[in-house]
A and B are shown apart, each in its own frame.
Chain A
Amino acid sequence: MTGVFDIIGPIMVGPSSSHTAGAVNIGRVARQILNCKPYRVEFTLYGSFAQTYKGHGTDRALVAGILGMTTDDPRIKNSLAIAKNEGIYCHFKGSSEPTYHPNTVRVGLNCINEQFDVVGISIGGGRIIIKEIDKVPVNITGEYHTLICSYTERLGMVSKVSSVLAAKNINIAFMKVSRDEAREKALMVVEVDEPLHDEIIEIISRLNNILHVKYIEKIEL
């Protein structure tokens, strides 16, 4: 059932929940996937995002998310200047190529040690879905605390990760495993009910065959 605060709320910076609030959330999730501060971020906008991004402030909203702001932050309007001051170079381009959804953005993030490419869609009311991380298809909504583990494809990885979580009393809400075509690199997305402490993330990242661990905090809508 629809909640009271889905009707009166959220408190947000306008003008549009899909083109502004959703864009902040995509930026925030993308920033959390990168473990260090980016110096360069490239945004490719598709569909309605490409056509109306200036008028809806989608560009400012995406950058605000990269800076860690939430959808109700009054600084969203000035995010481009704030990013510049912090030494983050942001570049925008539109694309008319067909893609997942009318409101799609590809975010290319660069920092000294890492480089990531994230594709997100804004599906209305500030809700989003991350569709790709580094070309691997995913389906992350950010409605739960989410753990993303990339690893070398080996038997028993799911049970290793889930035992760590169970031992720490963390309940798994949903879990999905996917892998690349060569069956070498795999990705495990685990959505959990409780927030994860750094310690748990540290234990999981030290497991054999684990390449990267990313943790995305739940988006409060």
Chain B
Amino acid sequence: MDKLKFHTLQDWEALSRRLGLSLHELVVKLEAFTSGKSEGVVKEKMLQNWLVMQQAIADGFAKEGATMGELADKEALKLKNAVSKGIVRDDRLSKVCARALAVSELNAAMGRIVAAPTAGSCGILPAVLATVGEDINSTDDEIVDALFVAAGIGIVIAERASISGAEGGCQAECGSAAAMAAGAVVYLYNGAPEQVFHGAALALKNTLGLVCDPVAGLVEVPCIKRNAILAVQALAAADLALAGVKSAIPPDEVIDAMGEIGRCMPAIYKETALGGLAATPTGIKLKERIAREKS
């Protein structure tokens, strides 16, 4: 089992090449070994996650009422309606944005989602994969393979840096989700492993230093809209990587930099709701309003 483990993206690529496996095949084998389950069961479980992700997009658009803290109210639908009226262009950008909003709003309204890697960043991967998958007619199996690649990227980030807002700020949650999504898109387009990792690195680099400053401590402001706009960044990063653009800093070093920034980030910017947007005059007013209305 140890011979299947990897701790850097570079190791993952080298190991897959040596064993004659693709990136996702190595992740599936590793998970089967560590969990003691068959590869079939592992793949079935990921398919289940993908089905719930798609359902979450549909549920997010269909949901009635605002989020629990009432800081977001059917924002995804607003964008969808603007597209149908021709105010906003009907393209990948508006689609991915609306879908990420839908899933994140659903999460904040106590709907059922898949943490990817966390609940606060759950909109990015479903939005990006559903939009690109639809665009290039990917099968469910191909998307499941891409999700294993996203998971592999997430595993390396979790081990070398963090995927928790409380430990590393929003760069660790939504930043990691964007990196995972960018890598997954490159994989769906049959990009080479190196391109997959550079796509992830380009997305992650652009979120370095991003703080977790949720108003009233809730997963609503800025989280919901951040999911939408970072999903767009993930697409842009994937496009660049597919075009052969590389991150000048190697992907593993970008991950380490994110970890270092997270460790040095002041605690007021790590999910404590004591700084940033949460501590603005309006942020404080919203917090007080929620406390009054909900008690």
Give Cα A200 to B152, complex, Å. 41
Give Cα A113 to B116, complex, Å. 43
Taking CB as reference atom, which chain A residue is nearest B118? A17
Give Cα A7 to B116, complex, Å. 6
Question: Does B92 reach chain A (CB closer than 8 Å)?
Answer: no
B35 pairs with A3, CB closer than 8 A: yes
Question: Does A171 reach chain B (CB closer than 8 Å)?
Answer: no
Point out the residues of chain A lying under 8 angstroms from B166, CB to CB: 124
A3 pairs with B122, CB closer than 8 A: no
B45 pairs with A16, CB closer than 8 A: no
Separation in Å of the A18 CB from the closest CB of chain B?
8
Question: Does B159 reach chain A (CB closer than 8 Å)?
Answer: yes
What's the tally of chain B residues with a CB closer than 8 Å to chain A?
54
- Contact partner of A9 (CB less than 8 A), chosen from B108, B114, B216, is B114
The number of A-B residue pairs with CB atoms under 8 Å apart is 137
What's the tally of chain A residues with a CB closer than 8 Å to chain B?
33
Over the window 1-13 of chain A, the binary record of Cβ atoms lying under 8 Å from chain B Cβ atoms (1 yes, 0 no) is 1111111111111
Question: Does B150 reach chain A (CB closer than 8 Å)?
Answer: yes
- Contact partner of B218 (CB less than 8 A), chosen from A9, A52, A72, is A52
B52 pairs with A77, CB closer than 8 A: no
Point out the residues of chain A lying under 8 angstroms from B186, CB to CB: none
Give Cα A6 to B119, complex, Å. 12
Question: Does A95 reach chain B (CB closer than 8 Å)?
Answer: no
Given contacts A4-B42, A51-B217, A55-B217, whether A11 and B49 have CB atoms under 8 Å apart is yes
Separation in Å of the B38 CB from the closest CB of chain A?
14
Taking CB as reference atom, which chain B residue is nearest A5? B45
- Contact partner of A16 (CB less than 8 A), chosen from B27, B31, B125, B219, is B219
Give Cα A7 to B163, complex, Å. 9
A15 pairs with B115, CB closer than 8 A: no
Question: Does B106 reach chain A (CB closer than 8 Å)?
Answer: yes
From 147 to 164 in chain B, residues with beta carbon under 8 angstroms from any chain A beta carbon are: 147-148, 150-152, 154-155, 158-159, 163-164
- Contact partner of A3 (CB less than 8 A), chosen from B31, B110, B163, B217, is B31
Interface of B with A (CB < 8 Å)?
5, 27, 30-31, 34-35, 42, 45-46, 48-49, 52, 67-69, 106-120, 122, 125, 147-148, 150-152, 154-155, 158-159, 163-164, 166, 180, 216-220, 290-291, 294-295
13 other contacts beyond A5-B45, A16-B219, with CB at 8 A cut-off? A1-B155, A3-B35, A4-B152, A7-B117, A7-B151, A8-B46, A8-B154, A10-B114, A12-B113, A13-B112, A15-B68, A55-B216, A125-B115
Interface of A with B (CB < 8 Å)?
1-17, 20-21, 48, 51-52, 54-57, 60, 72, 74, 76-77, 124-125
Of the A-B pairs whose beta carbons lie under 8 Å apart in the complex, a sample of 24, sorted by A's number, is A1-B34, A5-B45, A5-B49, A7-B150, A7-B151, A7-B154, A8-B49, A8-B115, A8-B116, A8-B125, A8-B147, A9-B45, A9-B49, A12-B114, A13-B110, A13-B113, A14-B106, A17-B115, A48-B217, A55-B216, A55-B217, A56-B68, A72-B112, A76-B110
